[in-house]
Amino acid sequence: MLKRITKVFYFAVFILCMSGFSCISRPGKDVALQRMKFNRSFSKNGLGLIYKDGAWGYIDKTGRIVIPATFALASDFSDGLAPVKKKSKRDAVGYIDAKGNYAIEPKFLSSGLFREGLAIFSILDDQTFLRGYIDKTGYKYITARYERLSPFVDGIAAYKQNGRWGYINKKGQYIIDANYDYALPFTEGLAAVKVRSKWGFIDEEGTMVIEPQYSSVQPFKEGMAAVSKFNHYGFINSSGTLILKHKYKNAKQFSNGLAAVQTYTFKWGFIDKTGTYKIPPIFDNAKSFADDFAAVNKGDKWDYAQARLMIIKRGKWGFIDKKGKMVIDYQFDKCSSFSNGMARVKIKTDYAYITKKADVIWKESLILPVKKVE
């Protein structure tokens, strides 16, 4: 019995599934650790997560270590608090403040980032994970009785019970019945929900305003949503009107007035809301704009494997500005988007944080110097 419970406990690391939700628990030895080491960003309080000498800590934007790397596991700051495990990966999760002091003592099996003053926590009940919400004092604000939860957005969160999805408010009241096969958080007053095999959108009253008809969707952003029919992407507005036809192989959300789209020659470019290419499709991969920069790739090779489009060879990443000018050259094996003026990059096996001027403010080991665009 104990061995079985232990296996279930280790499985907790993969509770990362909801949009915007970051859970902290025990990672796998290699893959999960590498993902954690890479998928970090600078928080609004100016602190970035680092991995040093086998432990986790935090630096400021000058690269100075402000919270020593002493934690067995840690995650980003959000709403002024960060979840950590102190000595062992099997320890309970607590929350520290920007000075490294415990604001909430360690007592949770697993827990996520704070959003709108609440964070998701988990308990193990008869070998089943159940989730609820805590407030910033550590009080169990909404009892753990849900199979899955999303963060709150504008006071509404998606929940899963008995295999079905619905929505609750911050009082834990059911405001939209669990009638859906899957549900995403609300954005711009609409939420994507899945009915059988198709996606549509509901409003905050639970009214289906855009009927389920899409094979895949992305949440609304800047008044538009990327939607797919028969593996062709287009864009709709909040009324469900098709604004840009289904003519893209892939598409991402609008950001700063531009959306990254992939052509049927597997090249990526950036369009405006009229569908005009503002930056031509010359890249082998691309991420959305953030902090006025977009990460773009040269050398990724795409092909079909196991009946879906996949990257079969990895290229190098760099950054462009909104005019399409290369501002940081192709050189990174991986890179995050910029967040609060910083980006996380990887060259070979080494990780670093860089500024928008390509200055390295912190490096995990002897990383190669970052090449700047002349």
- Range of the structural domain that residue 61 is part of: 1-151
Q: What does the pLDDT read at residue 273? A: 97
Residue 15 located in a structural domain: yes
Q: What does the pLDDT read at residue 87? A: 83
- For every one of its 374 residues, what pLDDT tens digit does the chain have, with 9 covering 90 and above? 434 333 333 333 323 333 333 444 433 333 344 444 555 678 888 999 998 888 999 999 999 999 999 999 999 999 999 999 998 878 899 999 999 999 999 999 889 999 999 999 999 888 888 999 999 999 999 999 999 999 999 999 999 999 999 999 999 999 999 999 999 999 999 999 999 999 999 999 999 999 999 999 999 999 999 999 998 999 999 999 999 999 999 999 999 999 999 999 999 999 999 999 999 999 999 999 999 999 999 999 988 776 677 888 899 999 999 999 999 999 999 999 999 999 999 988 888 999 999 999 998 765 556 777 76
Residues 98, 101: Cα–Cα separation, whole Å: 8
Token reading at 84: 């950590």
Name residues whose C-beta falls within 8 Å of residue 61's C-beta, 6 or more positions apart in sequence: 42, 46, 48, 341, 342, 355, 361
How far is CA 221 from each of CA 112, 209, 218, 236, 237, rounded to the nearest angstrom?
24, 17, 9, 11, 10
Over its C-alpha atoms, the chain yields an Rg (Å, rounded) of 21
* 349 residue type, one letter: T
Residues 250, 267: Cα–Cα separation, whole Å: 10
Tell me how long the chain is: 374
Residues 103, 194: Cα–Cα separation, whole Å: 38
Residue 316 located in a structural domain: no
Q: What does the pLDDT read at residue 277? A: 98
Residue 144 located in a structural domain: yes
Q: What is the pTM (predicted TM-score) of this model?
A: 0.86
Residue 199 located in a structural domain: no
Name residues whose C-beta falls within 8 Å of residue 206's C-beta, 6 or more positions apart in sequence: 167, 175, 176, 177
Residue 367 located in a structural domain: no
Residue 284 located in a structural domain: no
Q: What does the pLDDT read at residue 34? A: 44
Residue 95 located in a structural domain: yes
Residue 78 located in a structural domain: yes
Residues 336, 341: Cα–Cα separation, whole Å: 12
The SS3 of residue 22 is coil
> Could you give the number of structural domains in the chain?
1
